[in-house]
Amino acid sequence: MTAAYDEALRVDELGDADSRDGALMAALDRPRTQHMGDIVGTIQREQDAIIRGALAGTLVVQGGPGTGKTAVALHRAAYLLYEHRNRLAKSVVLIVGPNARFLDYISQVLPSLGEDSAVLVTPGTLVPGIRATATDAPAAAEFKGRLDIVPALKQAVRAYEVPSEGARVLHPAGMKPLTLDAALLRRVRTRGRAGGVAHNRGRPQFEKALLTEILRLEDAEHGESSMEDWERRADWAEDPAVQELFDELWPILDAVEVVRDLFADPQRLDRAFPRLDPALRANLLRSREHPLTVADVPLVDEVAELVGEDPRPSAASRARAQADRLTDVAYAQHVLDMVGDVDAHEDDEAAPVSIVAAEVLADRQVLGDDRTPAERAMHDREWVYGHVIVDEAQETSPMLLRALIRRCPTRSMTLVGDEHQYTSTDAPFTWAGLLDEQAPRWRREDLTVNYRTPGRILRLATGVLRRVEPDAPEPASARDGEHEPKVVRVAPAELGEATARATTEALADTAEAAGTVGVIAPLALLGSLREVRASEAARAASEGVEERLWVGTPDEAKGLEFDAVVVAVPPLPAPHAVSQATWKRLYVALTRPTQRLTVVEAVDAIG
């Protein structure tokens, strides 16, 4: 299909401007579905130049809403996989999108371009085995995203290495107790850390050093032993009191547990971050049971590097064998599920048969792993990708960028995003601020024409953006649209009801073409609006409202688009008290429509 992509481009280049514009306008006016369509037939010149840009280096694609950044990013993935297939088919392209809904939205474009050498993740699922969706308060997320957290994480891991230097008394079976004093403990800690190895990898050298010290103490206490040293070491190492001491003084660490400990234990937190602002400290502290947040994931990745794998031969091989086995069986099961229907017709007990077969299949895989590179990459935290594509990249924190560069040290990356849609914090965002330190040789291309939002709606949205960014660029839209945006002002108590009414109207307006309707509202209103969605769906099940209507927050709406959009705006405090991020979220919401917009605004006094 990439060949078809090439063909389409050539046709496009040869075709006359009028027929090209006609096809483009028809494409832009087409009702949208829940999935992104592909734009192979109508790619525009400025987009094409970016799609075909060089593979090497870090490319930033800056563009306002609807300028085709996502479309361009996906077509670039397909183009690169085709053009550099020898390199990328094996090394795989990693695509990072803002949330699961968004990945679902784009998921059908890649296969339709003929590519399966790509792994799709969100920042919350970057580390295999973790699915974080919880979020931190903005200040805590921003704090966790800064690079200067790295030394604190190092310190947090080190805090497990001989946690306190108070003397320890060892009570070996049938012998007088031995006292391990503070100086001795400091010595063995230094030996454990020798060579700067990862924490878990330091455990064997720590054990060795501690046993050496114990033999020395024993000699001092009881005179030289007649046994060989290696025999004495083996005896000591088996002593339960010594094993307990190994685990206490140098525990084998798991990255997720370290991050949980750090934010659940005030002492650990204070040691890692002395002089923390009290409000931020209160924000960071949470119970051990609290689910991991999206901002925790790059920290888990960092800590995983710092702790390394469990090197003890028995533990490591057992854990790895078990993990491999589970992955193999799960994969085999997946393969069987795909062909399972055949079995199901022949055998009523298809399920147990499949499980047995999955194990057999898994055994076969031990001999030869026949998973695709993408399937292997998605289970391997240490996989090095050939290229990384990030959508909504303006929300990438420095720590997330660090985790991405770890996965692609050549920095062959495409970051698409819009500095004006940055909402993670109230600070202004610049590409230079994100990239200069970690990927200093980045280059930038701009996309300038909005193919989604009609001009008359885009002008209204830009007015909102200019409240916080007076110099925001002049909007350019491929078409002006047919429907004037509507603004409805209501008293705060009526916001929910008025939004529901506007939704019903939007559904009616788009019913004929079966267009999509997006209702974008603050979290507090969503519950009642979801009820509207349910009752609308029940009322008009036959009209397919369930598929046409989406309800969510401005953050969830990022990257999405709908034929008609209803935006509910809660009462805002005085303009100067409204945060930058709030205005920008509103801007993002207002730029989602392809045809119609209704803003339902709560105002304290309707004048």
Ligand X SMILES: Nc1ncnc2c1ncn2[C@@H]1O[C@H](COP(=O)(O)OP(=O)(O)OP(=O)(O)O)[C@@H](O)[C@H]1O
Contact 55, 49 (CB under 8 A): no
- The residue (of 283 and 477) whose beta carbon lies closer to ligand X is 477
Q: CA 506, CA 500: separation in Å to the nearest integer?
A: 10
Q: CA 446, CA 206: separation in Å to the nearest integer?
A: 54
- The residue (of 70 and 125) whose beta carbon lies closer to ligand X is 70
**Applying CB under 6 A, does 124 fall inside the site for ligand X?**
no
Number of shown-chain residues binding ligand X (CB under 6 A): 24
> Is 68 marked within a binding site?
yes
Among 559, 567, 595, 597, binds ligand X (CB under 6 A): 559
The 8-class DSSP code of residue 164 comes to -
**Residues 36-75 as x/- pattern, contact with ligand X by CB under 6 A:** -x-x--xxx--x---------------x-xxxxxxx----
Dihedral sign, Cα of residue 462, residue 463, residue 465, residue 468: positive
> Is 417 marked within a binding site?
no
**Residues 416-435 as x/- pattern, contact with ligand X by CB under 6 A:** --x--x--------------
Helix (H) or strand (E) holding 599: strand 593-602
* Closest-CA residue to 555 (of 598, 584, 597, 534): 584
Q: How far is the CB of 449 from ligand X (least distance, A)?
A: 8
Q: How far is the CB of 486 from ligand X (least distance, A)?
A: 21
- The residue (of 49 and 491) whose beta carbon lies closer to ligand X is 49
Site for ligand X in 450-489 (CB under 6 A): 451-452
Radius of gyration of the chain (CA): 29
- The residue (of 475 and 559) whose beta carbon lies closer to ligand X is 559
- The residue (of 71 and 258) whose beta carbon lies closer to ligand X is 71
Contact 420, 472 (CB under 8 A): yes
Q: CA 224, CA 125: separation in Å to the nearest integer?
A: 57
Site for ligand X in 503-532 (CB under 6 A): none
Q: CA 593, CA 591: separation in Å to the nearest integer?
A: 6
Among 1, 8, 27, 384, binds ligand X (CB under 6 A): 27
How would DSSP label each residue in 501-565? HHHHHHHHHHHTTT--EEEE--HHHHHHHHHHHHHHHHHTGGGTHHHHEEEE-HHHHTT--EEEE
Q: How far is the CB of 105 from ligand X (least distance, A)?
A: 9
| The two three-digit tokens of residue 217, written as one number | 């103490």
Contact residues for 322 (Cβ-Cβ < 8 A; gap 6+): none
Site for ligand X in 238-297 (CB under 6 A): none
Among 58, 62, 591, 595, binds ligand X (CB under 6 A): 591
Q: How far is the CB of 40 from ligand X (least distance, A)?
A: 9
- The residue (of 66 and 518) whose beta carbon lies closer to ligand X is 66
Contact 155, 271 (CB under 8 A): yes
Binding residues: 63-70
Residues at the contact surface with ligand X, assessed by CB under 6 A? 24, 27-28, 37, 39, 42-44, 47, 63, 65-71, 418, 421, 451-452, 559, 561, 591
Residues in binding site for ATP: 63-70
